Structure 1
Amino acid sequence: MLTVHTSPLHQPGTGDAGGMNVYILELAKRLAAIDIEVEIFTRATSAALPPLVEPAPGVLVRHVEAGPYEGLAKEDMPGQLCAFTHGLMRAWADHGPGHYDLVHSHYWLSGRVGRLAAARWGVPLVHAMHTMAKVKNAALAGGDTPEPAARVIGETQVSQAADLLIANTGKEADELVRHYGADPARVAVVHPGVDLDRFRPGPSGIVAGRAEARARLGLPQNALIPLFAGRIQPLKAPDLVLHAVARLLEERPTLRERIVVPVVGGPSGSGLAEPKGLQNLAAQLGISDVTLFHPPAGQEQLADWYRAASVLVMPSYSESFGMVAIEAQACGTPVIAAEVGGLPVAVCDGVSGVLVPGHDPANYARALRSFADDPARSARMGAAAARHARTFSWDRAAASTAAAYAAALRDRWGVHASYVAARI
């Protein structure tokens, strides 16, 4: 597996680390559990990093030296792809021909390296876009920076070169065909999963689990708590959450006494230009007193934030899937989400949450008001949300990915790959 610009070992919610980091590591672990060994190559971001890390049996993370360790923006990463490819080939040379059966690249930067590696080794290339420039540019947040033409070109080249493209949803598969001319026969849909052992309601149930999580986090027991969790950048629209809350408090001023709005995450991408921009916006809107800013949380504490919330608010402008939505629902928390990308798959509208068309704060305020006016609604929808989330597991995602690998190998080698298909 190749993930050039961000390591699966990085803390999600910081820098460029997010759902893709979780996806890669969890998928690799589950693939290793079904006897598919995985080596993950990522760029070293510190001289102190060991060359090899084994986060789980059968999974190795290799840190490749390519460019300066720190301070290299994702936009400058293309200039280091040759150095990264050189490091990858050096590792391959230590093993010799035939060591790697398949290349699975993640994000377009990795896809460019993957094209060269797969061709050099004579193995299939499987690629996952995770996000696409043309899709993001068609739904930019106000003031956000468009993805560059170089990315569009790179994504098009990878789409044409890959033996198989993995899409998170049917909609993403359609976008690959429509925007990049991908062959529909070479696109497989694999829904991401969720760690159902970590992200689950409290052992005493949703209501008791919520009370226990709030006690651990120091949150008021009877408050309405709409949570934003994710990277602080225009794409994720955390500002829309604050605007919606401000509007709700204009309509329900007495609600100020019993509302807390946690924002859990750190600046990322174009959000780094104004790292304090969201705090300043809260002050301008007059809601600093009810807004709680918290740095990115580890997975265990993040599960507590989900459990403690009345509802997760996810008003993104673009989401290939929306892993945060599934994690929250697995903890028994309903979701208010934008009706974009893969979120209509991740959230069952009217059952496990509420899908909102467009990005008008008034519509999100209206959705929040339904939870404010009916406090029991959160637990009712939360039970349905937990059931819905259980249909997404990493074991299922790994099995589907293994089947996709087998198909790519069969297409490349024909009957000579039958032994691989039998094993996976």
Structure 2
Amino acid sequence: MRILYLINGLNGGGAAFPVPELIATAQRHGDTVKVVALMPQDRRAAERFDRAGLAWSLIGSGPADILPSFGKLLALLRKERPDFIWTSLSRACVYGQIAGRLLGIPVLSWQHNAFLKPGNRLLLRLTGRWAARWVADSEAVATFTREALGVAPELIDIWPIFRARSDAPQAVACAAAGRFRIGSLGRLHPNKRYEDLIDAAAWLRDQHPAAARRLEILIGGEGPEAAALAARIERLGLDNVRLMGFIDQPAAFLASLHGYVQPSHHEGMCIAAHEAMQAALPVVATPVGELRRSVADGQTGFIVPVGDPPALAKALLALTDDRTRAAQMGLASRERVIERFGAAAFDRSGYAVLDKMAPIVAAQRPR
């Protein structure tokens, strides 16, 4: 099948990050895929696409470019006439679903998060009925897609967008006298609740100063909350919390840590936390998205409530104080994530999705 994969933009993280892995599975299935982006964003995904040898193009200039980019999409679809449109994230899903309806091209739509802004939720409830099928990146997101978007369960498949690698670099256990490094990767956005992590560090400093001196917290990423988070760190006088900026080698960064933390308010699959598990790190996370299933509390890390800095601090303290147990949890994390999301499971899920699109495409072809 010939597929046009429509994505929101070329950001270096989020839903654009796993696109090369997804397309590689489609290619192994015997399909051809062209990627089309609606917005340039930070363009870091373009470098990743080029390294993977993907065919891609950019048809829009930014968030305000609505009608012109939609017009370009229609022209491109009329010219290339793919067998189906694959869409990812709200804007691309809405554009693709409308275009598919107008041109009689089947649409397969991703849902990546167990949360949508009210406006996006309303739009997708209206246009989502024009998608032939939906793909959720986790069980949690499949539930959200049914409940929030009104999609029939039989139209939803689950394809976790994380493909675990058994050859990924592994973290090394922290020495007894060393500084315990806990990190996080994510967009500096209110949804990630990094302010809770900073407040947890302040709580530890005040309640357990000796332990706090043995702990270093590194937050990798860029985003609209960068200045506010930096100001919070400075205001609280924390010398063991650092904002690292964009991390262009996430595997190496994760392998340099001794633990990982994800204090988010909402998530879907949360690739970064699963990559941390792949790197043999114990993970402290909130029970959101797929994390509530992937992180086994007390075995591969700890689950803490959303918006509870003292509980978060106590979980970090537990890792710092018992480094042998932390390392054992990390190894259990790695084993769990490779078993659940290894290469064979990834391809098997993808093939199932594509196999269900084949008869839909065949029914649309002229007889």
- TM-score of the pair, normalised by structure 2: 0.88
Q: For 1:370, give the aligned amino acid.
A: A
* Partner residue, 1:345: 293
Equivalent residue for 2:352, pick from 384, 388, 403: 403
The alpha-carbon deviation at position 80 of structure 1 amounts to 2.7
The alpha-carbon deviation at position 94 of structure 1 amounts to 4.0
Q: Secondary structure at the match of 1:225?
A: strand
Equivalent residue for 1:56, pick from 52, 57, 66: 52
* Partner residue, 2:90: 108
The alpha-carbon deviation at position 260 of structure 1 amounts to 1.4
Q: How far does the alpha carbon of each residue in 1:2-54 deviate from its partner, in whole angstroms, 9 at most, with x for none?
A: 444322xx43xxxxxx22111223211332233221111003539x999xx75
* Gap change, CA 1:321 and 1:244, over 3 Å in 2: same
* Gap change, CA 1:351 and 1:232, over 3 Å in 2: same
Distance in 2 (CA, whole Å) between partners of 1:118 and 1:395 is: 32
Q: Does 1:88 align with 2:73?
A: yes
Q: Is the 8 A contact 1:5 1:43 kept in 2?
A: yes
Q: Is the 8 A contact 2:113 2:269 kept in 1?
A: no
Distance in 1 (CA, whole Å) between partners of 2:22 and 2:309 is: 36
Q: Is the 8 A contact 1:129 1:167 kept in 2?
A: yes
Q: How far does the alpha carbon of each residue in 1:123-159 deviate from its partner, in whole angstroms, 9 at most, with x for none?
A: 3211012125xx35xxxxxxxxxx353x122111233
Q: How far does the alpha carbon of each residue in 1:260-314 deviate from its partner, in whole angstroms, 9 at most, with x for none?
A: 111111124xx3xxx3111111122221x1122211111xx32122122221110
Q: Secondary structure at the match of 1:174?
A: helix
Q: Secondary structure at the match of 1:5?
A: strand
Q: Secondary structure at the match of 1:123?
A: coil
Q: For 2:70, give the aligned amino acid.
A: T
Q: Secondary structure at the match of 1:263?
A: strand
Q: For 2:194, give the aligned amino acid.
A: P
Distance in 2 (CA, whole Å) between partners of 1:393 and 1:122 is: 36
Q: Is the 8 A contact 1:2 1:104 kept in 2?
A: yes
Q: For 1:399, give the aligned amino acid.
A: R
Distance in 2 (CA, whole Å) between partners of 1:328 and 1:196 is: 12
Distance in 2 (CA, whole Å) between partners of 1:284 and 1:231 is: 22
Equivalent residue for 1:242, pick from 192, 198, 210: 198
Equivalent residue for 1:380, pick from 328, 333, 351: 328
Q: CA RMSD in A?
A: 2.8
The alpha-carbon deviation at position 90 of structure 1 amounts to 3.0
Q: For 2:312, give the aligned amino acid.
A: Y
The alpha-carbon deviation at position 356 of structure 1 amounts to 1.2
The alpha-carbon deviation at position 346 of structure 1 amounts to 3.0
The alpha-carbon deviation at position 55 of structure 1 amounts to 4.2
Q: Is the 8 A contact 1:108 1:158 kept in 2?
A: no
The alpha-carbon deviation at position 63 of structure 1 amounts to 1.5
The alpha-carbon deviation at position 405 of structure 1 amounts to 2.4
* Gap change, CA 1:384 and 1:400, over 3 Å in 2: same
* Partner residue, 2:15: 20
Q: Does 1:182 align with 2:157?
A: no
Q: Secondary structure at the match of 1:80?
A: coil
* Gap change, CA 1:158 and 1:131, over 3 Å in 2: farther
Distance in 2 (CA, whole Å) between partners of 1:197 and 1:84 is: 40
Equivalent residue for 1:163, pick from 132, 143, 151: 132
Identity across matched positions, percent: 20
Q: Secondary structure at the match of 1:28?
A: helix
* Partner residue, 2:242: 292
Q: Is the 8 A contact 1:102 1:123 kept in 2?
A: yes
Distance in 1 (CA, whole Å) between partners of 2:6 and 2:343 is: 19
Q: Is the 8 A contact 1:325 1:347 kept in 2?
A: no
Structure 2: stretches of 5+ with no match in the other structure: none
* Partner residue, 1:144: none
The alpha-carbon deviation at position 330 of structure 1 amounts to 0.5
* Gap change, CA 1:190 and 1:241, over 3 Å in 2: same
Report the count of equivalent residues. Answer: 358
Structure 1: stretches of 5+ with no match in the other structure: 12-17, 137-146, 212-219, 418-424
Q: Does 1:39 align with 2:8?
A: no
The alpha-carbon deviation at position 343 of structure 1 amounts to 1.2
* Partner residue, 1:214: none
* Gap change, CA 1:232 and 1:225, over 3 Å in 2: same
* Partner residue, 2:209: 253
Distance in 2 (CA, whole Å) between partners of 1:177 and 1:266 is: 32
